[in-house]
Amino acid sequence: MAPAIKGLMQFITDIRNAKAQEEEEKRVQSELIHIQKQFQQPHLSGYHRKKYICKLIYIYLLGYKIDIGFNESIDLMNSKLYSEKSIGYLALNLFISIDPSLIDAILERVKRDLNSNDENFNCLALHFISSSIDDPSNAQFFENDVFLLLRSPTISNLIKKKACLAFLKLIKADSSILLRHPDWIQKILSLLDTDDLGLAISLTSLIEYIAKLDYNSCKPIIPVVANHLKKLIVNDICPTGYYYYGFSCPWLVIRLFSLLEILIPDIDEIDIDTLTLDLIQSIIHKTISISISKRNSKSLETRNTASFLLFGAISLAAHINPSQDESNAAADALCSLLNSSETNTRYLALDSLAKISIRGDTKILETVRNHMTDIFNLLKDKDISIKRKALDLIYITCDSTTVEKTCQELLQYLTISDYSMKLEIAVKIAVVSENYATDATWYVITILKLISVAGSHVNDEVWQRLIQIIVNNDSIHLISLKSVLKYLKSGNYPESMLKIASFLLGEYNLKIKEIISPLNQFELLFNKYYQCST
C-alpha cells in the first residue's frame, strides 16, 4: 500500500511544482504513457491498479482528456476489498460522463453490491445510483432492490438514509415507479414515524417529492409530521448530537415546515382535524417566539438559525392563518432583519414579508409600511435578487393611501435602476397608479411622467389606457393637453408621448387655443413628423 500512496503523492507534487503550463502538460503526458504501459502488464496487482486509477482521476479533474482506465476501473469495482472497490466506484462516477456506455457494463455489478451482506458495499452502490442513474430504464432496473433496502427491518438506518436518497433519484428519473407500485407510498410514509432524526431528514426530502406527484396519498402523514415538530419545538426533546446552538435539530424542523406547506396548500380546502390544526398553530407560535427571543444573541450561528426558523415558521403560517398578535410580532421581527449584513437574510426577510403581506391583513401591512424607508433603500442593494424582491414587496403593500408616495419613489428610482428591471418597474407603476389612484389629475401627471422617464420600456397598452381615461373624463382634458405640450416643447420625450399629443390635439385642440393657436399646434406636430418610426 505504501508504494502506491507514495507514487500518487509524488505525481501530485510534481504537478503542483510545475512552473509553466507546458511543463505540467509534459508531466501529464509522460504519466499517461507510463500508466498505459502498466495496464498492459498481465499480473498488475490491485494496489497498483488503484494507484494508477487515482492518478487518472487526478488528471481528469485537472481538465485533461482521459481515454484509458475504464476497464481497470470496472476491475477495481469488482474487487472484494473495500479500499479498491471504493476507488472503482469513484472513478466510474466520473468516467461515465466521458463514455456513457460504461453504465451498461456495470449495472449487474451494482445490483450485486446492493444485495450484498456487506453494508459498505451497499453504501457504494447506493451512492452510485444517487449520482449516476438518470435513464428511466436503468431506474426500473434498480427500483425493487433499492425499495427492499429502504423497507428492510434488518438493515441499519445508515443504509436506509442512503436508500432514501437513491430512491428519490430513481423516481426523479422515472416517476411511473409509483404508478407501478402505488402501495409503496404508504410503506414509505410509515417510515417517518421514527426516532432516528437523521433518517427522518432523509425521508422528508423523499416524501416532499412524492407529495408533489401524489398529493392525496400523502395527506395522512400530516399528524405524524406535526408530532415530530411537537417533540422538537414544543417539548424540546432531541438527542444531544442534533442540538445546534440551543435549537433542536433545526435542519429537520425546516424540512418538516416545508413538507407541511406542500401538504397544506390552503387550510380552507383541506380537511384537518381540530386537534392537529391546533397543534400546528401552537408549533408556529412557539417557533416564532423562540426565534424572536434569540434574534439579538451575540452568537452569529444562533442569530442565523433563529432567523431561518422564523422564515420557515412564517412561510408555513401563510398557509395556516395564525393569530393576529402572532402575525404582527412575526412581521415586526422580519422587518428588523431588513438591515442585516447577510444577503441571504435580507432576501429571506423580504420573501417572508411578501408571503404574509399578500393576505392583505391591515395590521401586518401597517407594520410593514412603517419600514418602507428600509424597503425602498433595498432597491439600491448590490444584489439584483434583493432589488427584485424589494420591488415585489413594495407592489404588494401599495394601496390608495400609499400609491402617491410609492409612485414618486419608484419614478425617482426608475432613472437609476438596472436596465433589466426598468420594464418591471414601469409595469408596476402603471398598474398601481390605475388601481389605486383617487385623483384623475394626479393619475394623468404620473403616467405622463412615467412615459417620459421610461420611454420604450412602457408598453403601448399604458398610453392607450391613459387616452381612454382622458376621453371619458372631461375635467382632465385641459391639464392633459397642457402637460403633453410641456413635454413636447422640452424636446425630451419618447415616441409614445408624441402619439398621445397627436390624439389629444386632434380631438381637443379648441380647448387650448387660448394658450397655443391651432396653427402653432399644427406646426408643433408637423415639425415632429419625421421623428416618428411609422
Residue type, 469: I
Task: Output the pLDDT for position 443.
Answer: 92
Question: Are 262 and 288 contacting, i.e. CB atoms less than 8 angstroms apart?
Answer: no
| The predicted structure's pLDDT at residue 462 | 86
Q: What is the reported pLDDT for 488?
A: 80
- The secondary element (H helix, E strand) that includes residue 244 is strand 243-244
Q: Are 354 and 392 in contact (CB under 8 A)?
A: yes
pLDDT for the residue 529? 65
The DSSP H or E segment spanning 220 is none
Q: What is the pLDDT of residue 517?
A: 77
SS3 track for 117-130? CCHHHHHHHHHHHH
Do β-strands 243-244 and 247-248 pair in parallel, antiparallel, or remain unpaired? antiparallel
For residues 24 and 63, what is the distance between their CA atoms, to the nearest angstrom? 12
Angstrom distance (rounded) from CA 510 to CA 532: 24
Find the helix or strand (DSSP H, E) in which 92 lies: helix 82-95
Q: Are 320 and 355 in contact (CB under 8 A)?
A: no
Of 187, 142, 188, the C-alpha closest to 166 is 142
Cα 443 from Cα 434, distance rounded (Å): 7
Q: What is the pTM of this model?
A: 0.77
Grid cell at residue 403: 400609491
From first to last of the 534 residues of the chain, give the pLDDT tens digit: 444 467 889 999 999 999 999 999 999 999 999 999 999 988 888 889 999 999 999 999 999 999 999 999 999 999 999 999 999 999 999 999 899 889 989 999 999 999 999 999 999 999 999 999 999 999 999 999 999 999 999 999 999 999 999 999 999 999 999 999 999 999 999 999 999 999 999 999 999 999 999 999 999 999 999 999 999 999 999 999 999 999 999 999 999 999 999 998 877 777 888 899 899 989 998 998 898 888 788 898 998 899 889 889 888 887 776 666 667 777 888 888 898 888 988 999 999 899 888 877 888 889 899 999 999 999 999 999 999 999 999 999 999 999 999 999 999 999 999 999 999 999 999 999 999 999 999 999 999 999 888 887 888 888 888 999 999 888 899 988 888 888 888 777 787 888 888 888 888 777 877 777 777 777 777 776 666 666
Where do we find the cell 402653432? 520
Determine contact, residues 283/233, Cβ cutoff 8 Å: yes
- The DSSP letter of residue 231 is I
Note the maximum CA span of the chain.
107
In whole angstroms, give the CA distance from residue 15 to residue 199: 42
Residues paired with residue 243 on neighbouring β-strands, in sequence order: 248
Q: Are 271 and 220 in contact (CB under 8 A)?
A: no
Q: Give CA–CA dist 119/99, Å, rounded.
A: 29
Could you state, in order of their start, the residue ranges of all structural domains in the chain? Answer: 1-99, 439-534
CB 22 within 8 A of CB 16: no
pLDDT at 70: 93
